[in-house]
């Protein structure tokens, strides 16, 4: 026996060590089980008692001396309870038939079946629930403990089923408690063949998953150490003892090098049992110093119970560990803890996948996390896109077999079809179809010999995608447009040419409503130039494009001119310029005598050869005539821009109100004088705490209507409605209440409709510097609140509440309306708990209501400034806009003098100093200036 380990002392202190560790970590935490079943060695932890019946109470004592009458009463009570439970079970089964994805109904069914003692039905219910949802550690432990109660009379097949359950349990979430259940199961079956080997294997796997868990990792380490210490006492030969002693010492040294809560107690316990050399002590001190820093983060996690706040703490915790360049395994452990505590936070899963892809780069691990992510956040499109990317990236293909990628193709198809069932709205389905089509196209190498089967699969998929999307959306639609263009480009690239059939495909695209967009034409024209090799045809198509494009005629004009620069001559370029000028002129004034807004105002004008242009005098010629005239002509009053647009002057006109009353003159009955408008009211700041500011009022709303509107919250002392000089309401004003408490209640009426328009109610704050816009709704992630879009505009708030009430109790239902009171087609629904919200998503997301497909998701509004700093994701195109057919910015056609230019970093001129005086200029001086231009 080695001198650095006193075996007698070690065995004598085994029970003391167990109690010390439990005190350092916390009471009531699971410890090690018995080692080996009957005749096994106790490790100081809790022992599992065999259950005589499946759901026998652990602490129940039977009294054999009970009289017969007592037993009879108990049996009657049990019969009554069973009848009640059976009745409840029937109700739950009926509900599950119509709501097969209800999380709460499955929990209720499991509770009832457990009360009835129906083991087979209970197991079946749990299996069905686990097919749909990953089970939380609490649910797994409850299931595993129920199954283990029957192991004493179980067959080998039933025992193997329990071990299989353990493997499934540790895959859903990384939980110390679940791993301890697995360890206890192995210890209780250690006497079987290879039992010790299996125990060590499970211990090492548990350490790999939870050994770096600062808060609870010591439970695994201590149990493992007790296990090896107990084995040491069973060694017979000296050789076996030496080998086991080395294994035990190595394990102790490994534990001391890991920063864990309670490591001081562990060090004090082990320093008298093994030799602590310099290296071990140095590693221990380094880990202890690191623990002092980590304890502050662990304290924050313990003090926080709210999910979104805990996710934020985990994100900061992980960021600090990455900044510290911590062990990647420690960062992975933190991510596992984070997703266990916040499994519905999709961004956490995405960050985890990105970290694994960038740092660890282990394909099997990345695939496993992606699969777990889509099980937890099945409604999140970006998670499915990550999974599709991982399948294509990490599933290998056999390069030795030509055209062989069957395993990758089958997996990709399976994942895509599953994603399509969960993300079934128009936009989501369109994105998924495009990603799948891109994958199928990448299977085809244009430079190598083509596989006809792959080409045929891609062509059929193009058709299937178009057919499916037409069932979800109406044309013109961006995703349908992209798919049609993708197909046409593919056919051209496949044969490296343009045929009549391919041109017919483009013609069909233009005729389906996409010919008005420049981007569609640009792709077609580029292919014609690349493969067509017919300059005349390209010129003819450019002429058609110039007449059809509505969103960006200037760009097609530039395209045409660039084409002539590259392939044309002087004559063809002159003809092109003339056609462009005529087309642009017709767009501005299609009918003589009718005024239109010039859509290309402020853009470059190519109307150089236009006949009208020849008759017009240039600016410098007009300037010469004006300078030579003794009396310059009077300036005409410019016509307002908005007056030139038909109907625009009536769009924002306020409704007519009754004319102000007139007072008869005393000298002449027919003479009438208008009442003067009321003068300004002096502000009384003492009433500010009883005053609210109301805006977005209907113009017909008068003082009496406003008083009646606020009468439910208190007595209104005064209503000051702001009016113009014609005594018409401006749509806003001030309401003063008699009592202070009425003011607070009035603020709660914000956005309540009056005369069909939502009234905006806010505090009265005359100081613009301190005035703030108060938003009463949360802008963070709320797992119990849903965001619904795509609703029919005719749907009322009551109809919406009825639609979602079947999934659980609603705390709030808010249908968002614009300033006119018209529904925007979006709404927010707040449930009592997150499980009801999750059930509502699974049932209603992608459903069709009155011909419109609605989208339902967890409410997580982006920050206001997020759009300025957001970077394109891995899957998004790096373009300025997410809509390829979106029009340009509105200020493109605004006159230059009215455009708001971005601020420059160049130093501004000093306006405080006047420029030096200059001599007055004569007419000749002005003429010279104009001649220079």
Q: What is the CATH number of the domain that holds 802?
A: 3.30.70.330
Asked if residue 492 belongs to a domain, the reply is no
- 14-18, 182-186, 491-495, 921-925: segment of lowest average pLDDT: 14-18
Rounded distance between C-alpha atoms, residue 166 and residue 141, angstroms: 9
Rounded distance between C-alpha atoms, residue 458 and residue 447, angstroms: 17
Tell me the pLDDT band of 816, cut-offs 50, 70 and 90: confident
Give bridge partners of residue 789 from the DSSP assignment.
826, 855
Helices and strands counted in the chain (H then E): 36, 13
Give bridge partners of residue 785 from the DSSP assignment.
830
Asked if residue 660 belongs to a domain, the reply is no
Which three-class secondary structure state does DSSP give residue 863?
coil
Give bridge partners of residue 716 from the DSSP assignment.
737
Q: Is the pLDDT of residue 636 over 90?
A: no
Residue with tokens 């010492």: 249
What tens digit of pLDDT does each residue of 106-115 get?
999 999 999 9
Rounded distance between C-alpha atoms, residue 467 and residue 469, angstroms: 6
Q: In whole angstroms, how far apart are CA 438 and each of 169, 391, 806?
A: 36, 13, 40
Asked if residue 78 belongs to a domain, the reply is yes
Give bridge partners of residue 828 from the DSSP assignment.
787, 814
| Sign for the pseudo-dihedral over CA of 337, 338, 339, 340 | positive
Tell me the pLDDT band of 192, cut-offs 50, 70 and 90: confident
Asked if residue 325 belongs to a domain, the reply is no
Distance, first Cα to last Cα, the chain: 105
Which three-class secondary structure state does DSSP give residue 350?
helix
> Residues, the chain, total?
933
Q: Give me 24's structure tokens.
A: 């350092």
- 214-228, 327-341, 617-631, 688-702: segment of lowest average pLDDT: 617-631
Rg value, the chain, Cα: 39
Rounded distance between C-alpha atoms, residue 301 and residue 856, angstroms: 31
SS3 per residue for 187-201: HHCCCCCCHHHHHHH
Is the CB of residue 440 less than 8 Å from the CB of residue 454? Answer: yes
Q: Is the pLDDT of residue 75 over 90?
A: no
Q: What is the mean pLDDT of residues 79-83?
A: 73
What tens digit of pLDDT does each residue of 662-707 get?
344 344 444 444 445 555 566 677 788 889 999 988 888 888 889 8
Asked if residue 331 belongs to a domain, the reply is no
How many structural domains is the chain composed of? 2
Rounded distance between C-alpha atoms, residue 94 and residue 309, angstroms: 38
Q: Is the pLDDT of residue 740 over 60?
A: yes
Q: Is the pLDDT of residue 642 over 50?
A: no
Asked if residue 494 belongs to a domain, the reply is no
CB atoms within 10 A of CB 479: 22
Q: In whole angstroms, how far apart are CA 754 and each of 673, 705, 710?
A: 34, 9, 10
CA nearest 521: which of 496, 546, 558? 546
In terms of pLDDT, which residue wins out, 704 or 635? Answer: 704
In terms of pLDDT, which residue wins out, 77 or 233? Answer: 233
Is the CB of residue 753 less than 8 Å from the CB of residue 821? Answer: yes
The distance of Cα 585 from the centroid of its chain, to the nearest Å, equals: 47
Phi, psi (degrees; rounded to nearest 5) at 159:
-65, -40
Taking 3-state DSSP, the helix, strand and coil percentages for the chain, each rounded to the nearest 5, stand at 55, 10, 35
- 43-47, 174-178, 187-191, 285-289: segment of lowest average pLDDT: 43-47
Residue with tokens 């100093």: 913
Q: Is the pLDDT of residue 168 over 70?
A: yes
Q: What is the mean pLDDT of residues 642-666?
A: 40
- 248-252, 264-268, 489-493, 880-884: segment of lowest average pLDDT: 880-884
- Residue 38 sits in a domain of what CATH number? 1.25.40.10
User: To 10 degrees, the CA torsion angle through 183, 185, 188, 191?
Assistant: -90
Cβ neighbours of residue 2 closer than 8 Å, sequence gap 6 or more: 242, 245
Tell me the pLDDT band of 216, cut-offs 50, 70 and 90: very high
Q: What is the mean pLDDT of residues 506-526?
A: 94
What tens digit of pLDDT does each residue of 328-372 get?
999 999 999 999 999 999 999 999 999 999 998 999 999 999 999
Q: Give me 849's structure tokens.
A: 């209501």
Is the CB of residue 733 less than 8 Å from the CB of residue 720? Answer: yes
CB atoms within 10 A of CB 883: 8
Which of 800, 835, 860 is the C-terminal boundary of a domain?
860
Pairing of strands 691-695, 823-831: unpaired
Domain that holds residue 255: 7-46+73-303
Please give the model's pTM, rounded to 2 decimal places. Answer: 0.58
Ranked by mean pLDDT, the top range of 30-34, 458-462, 639-643 is 458-462
Please tell me what DSSP assigns to residue 542.
Answer: H
Which of 860, 895, 923 is the C-terminal boundary of a domain?
860
Looking at residue 308, what is its pLDDT? 79
Phi, psi (degrees; rounded to nearest 5) at 783:
-70, -20
Contacts by 286-292, CB closer than 8 A, 24 or more apart: 286/257, 287/256, 287/257, 287/258, 287/259, 287/260, 287/263, 288/259, 288/263, 288/264, 290/259, 291/214, 291/259, 291/260, 291/261, 291/263
Q: Give me 649's structure tokens.
A: 């002057």
CA nearest 281: which of 296, 298, 263, 294? 263
Half-sphere exposure of 731 (CA within 13 A, CB side): 15
CA nearest 221: which of 282, 163, 180, 279? 180
Phi, psi (degrees; rounded to nearest 5) at 716:
-90, 125
Which three-class secondary structure state does DSSP give residue 376?
helix
Asked if residue 224 belongs to a domain, the reply is yes
Across the chain, mean pLDDT equals 77
Looking at residue 604, what is its pLDDT? 41
Please tell me what DSSP assigns to residue 307.
Answer: H
Residue with tokens 């961006």: 478
What tens digit of pLDDT does each residue of 465-501 get?
999 999 999 988 999 999 999 999 999 999 999 999 9
Looking at residue 813, what is its pLDDT? 87
Asked if residue 705 belongs to a domain, the reply is no
Which of 860, 893, 927 is the C-terminal boundary of a domain?
860
């Amino acid at each position: 026996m080695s001198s650095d380990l006193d075996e007698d002392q070690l065995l004598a202190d085994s029970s003391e060590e167990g109690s010390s560790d439990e005190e350092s970590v916390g009471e009531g935490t699971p410890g090690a089980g018995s080692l080996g079943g009957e005749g096994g060695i106790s490790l100081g932890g809790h022992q599992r008692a065999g259950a005589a019946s499946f759901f026998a109470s652990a602490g129940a004592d039977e009294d054999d001396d009970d009289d017969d009458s007592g037993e009879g009463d108990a049996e009657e009570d049990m019969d009554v309870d069973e009848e009640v439970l059976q009745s409840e079970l029937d109700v739950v089964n009926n509900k599950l038939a119509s709501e097969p994805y209800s999380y709460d109904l499955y929990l209720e069914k499991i509770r009832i079946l457990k009360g009835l003692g129906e083991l087979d039905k209970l197991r079946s219910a749990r299996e069905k629930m686990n097919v749909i949802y990953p089970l939380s550690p609490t649910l797994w432990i409850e299931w595993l403990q129920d199954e283990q109660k029957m192991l004493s009379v179980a067959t080998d097949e039933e025992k193997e089923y329990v071990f299989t359950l353990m493997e499934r349990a540790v895959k859903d979430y990384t939980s110390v408690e679940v791993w301890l259940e697995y360890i206890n199961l192995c210890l209780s079956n250690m006497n079987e063949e290879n039992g010790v080997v299996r125990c060590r294997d499970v211990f090492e796997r548990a350490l790999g998953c939870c050994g770096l868990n600062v808060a609870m990792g010591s439970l695994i380490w201590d149990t493992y150490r007790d296990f090896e210490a107990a084995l040491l006492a069973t060694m017979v030969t000296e050789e076996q003892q030496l080998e086991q002693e080395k294994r035990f010492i190595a394990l102790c040294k490994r534990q001391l090098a890991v920063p864990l809560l309670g490591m001081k107690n562990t060090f004090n316990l082990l320093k008298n049992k093994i030799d602590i050399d310099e290296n071990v002590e140095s590693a221990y001190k380094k880990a202890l110093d690191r623990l002092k820093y980590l304890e502050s983060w662990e304290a924050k996690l313990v003090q926080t119970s709210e999910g979104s706040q805990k996710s934020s703490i985990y994100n900061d915790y992980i960021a600090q560990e990455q900044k510290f360049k911590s062990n990647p395994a420690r960062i992975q452990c933190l991510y596992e803890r984070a997703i266990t505590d916040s499994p519905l936070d999709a961004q956490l899963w995405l960050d985890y996948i990105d970290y694994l892809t960038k740092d660890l780069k282990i394909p099997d691990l990345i695939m496993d996390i992606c699969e777990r992510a889509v099980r937890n956040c099945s409604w999140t499109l970006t998670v499915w896109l990550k999974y599709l990317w991982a399948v294509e990236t990490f599933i290998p293909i056999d390069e030795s077999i030509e055209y062989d990628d069957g395993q990758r193709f089958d997996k990709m198809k399976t994942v895509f079809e599953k994603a399509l069932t969960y993300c079934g709205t128009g936009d989501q389905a369109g994105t998924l179809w495009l990603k799948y089509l891109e994958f199928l196209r990448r299977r085809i190498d244009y430079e190598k010999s083509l596989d006809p089967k792959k080409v045929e699969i891609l062509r059929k998929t193009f058709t299937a995608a178009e057919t499916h999307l037409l069932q979800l959306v109406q044309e013109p639609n961006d995703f349908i447009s992209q798919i049609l263009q993708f197909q046409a480009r593919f056919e051209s690239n496949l044969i490296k040419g343009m045929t009549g059939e391919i041109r017919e495909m483009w013609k069909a695209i233009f005729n389906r409503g996409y010919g008005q967009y420049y981007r569609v034409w640009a792709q077609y024209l580029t292919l014609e130039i690349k493969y067509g090799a017919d300059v005349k045809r390209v010129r003819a198509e450019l002429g058609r494009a110039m007449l059809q494009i509505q969103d960006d005629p200037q760009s097609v004009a530039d395209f045409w001119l660039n084409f002539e620069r590259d392939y044309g001559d002087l004559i063809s370029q002159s003809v092109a310029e003339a056609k462009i000028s005529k087309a642009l002129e017709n767009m501005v004034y299609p009918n003589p005598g009718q005024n239109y807004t010039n859509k290309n105002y402020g853009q470059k004008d190519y109307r150089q050869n236009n006949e009208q242009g020849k008759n017009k005098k240039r600016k410098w010629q007009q300037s010469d005539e004006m300078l030579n005239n003794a009396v310059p002509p009077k300036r005409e009053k410019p016509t307002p821009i908005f007056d030139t647009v038909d109907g625009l002057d009536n769009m924002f006109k306020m409704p007519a109100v009754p004319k102000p009353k007139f007072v008869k003159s005393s000298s002449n009955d027919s003479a009438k004088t208008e009442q003067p408008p009321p003068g300004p009211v002096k502000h009384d700041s003492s009433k500010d705490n009883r005053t609210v500011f109301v805006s977005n009022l209907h113009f017909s709303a008068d003082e009496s209507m406003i008083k009646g509107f606020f009468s439910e919250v208190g007595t209104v002392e005064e209503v000051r409605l702001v009016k113009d000089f014609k005594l018409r309401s401006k749509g806003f004003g001030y309401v003063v209440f008699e009592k202070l408490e009425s003011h607070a209640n009035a603020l709660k009426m914000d956005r309540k409709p009056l005369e069909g328009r939502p009234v905006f109610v806010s505090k009265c704050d005359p100081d613009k510097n301190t005035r703030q816009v108060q938003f009463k709704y949360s802008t963070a992630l709320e797992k119990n609140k849903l965001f619904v879009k795509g609703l029919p505009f005719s749907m009322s708030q009551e109809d919406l509440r009825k639609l979602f009430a079947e999934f659980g109790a609603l705390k709030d239902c808010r249908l968002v309306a614009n300033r006119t009171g018209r529904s925007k087609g979006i709404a927010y629904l707040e449930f009592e708990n997150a499980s009801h919200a999750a059930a509502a998503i699974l049932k209603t997301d992608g459903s069709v209501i009155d011909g419109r497909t609605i989208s339902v998701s967890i409410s997580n509004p982006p920050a206001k400034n997020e759009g300025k700093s957001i970077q394109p994701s891995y899957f998004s195109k790096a373009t300025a806009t997410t809509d390829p057919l979106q029009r340009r910015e509105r200020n493109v056609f605004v006159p230059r003098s009215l455009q708001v230019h971005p601020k420059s970093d160049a130093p501004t001129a000093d306006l405080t100093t006047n420029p030096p005086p200059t001599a007055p200029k004569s007419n000749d001086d002005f003429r010279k200036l104009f001649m220079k231009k």
